Structure 1
Amino acid sequence: MNRSSPNAAGRVAVVGGGPAGLMAAEVLAAGGAQVDL
């Protein structure tokens, strides 16, 4: 996975609403990303 900046916030789509998908969405949102679940 490549990172352009440690503070780069973007828009992310998480496919899957199970426990792992929900946790990923929560962590990404906490990092400033706009998350579509």
Structure 2
Amino acid sequence: MTLKSCYFITLFYVIMKGLTEVLFICTGVIKNEINIT
């Protein structure tokens, strides 16, 4: 495993983790808005 591929895997992991967190927050906000209305 080269340093470059390791870097890309780490970057990909961070992006995917960030996306899942954003999706989780967005679904939570949407559920809250549905509950309020």
* TM-score in terms of structure 2 length: 0.41
Give me the TM-score of the superposition, normalised by structure 1.
0.41
Structure number with greater CO (CA < 8 Å, separation at least 6) is 1
Which is richer in helix? 2
More strand by share: 1
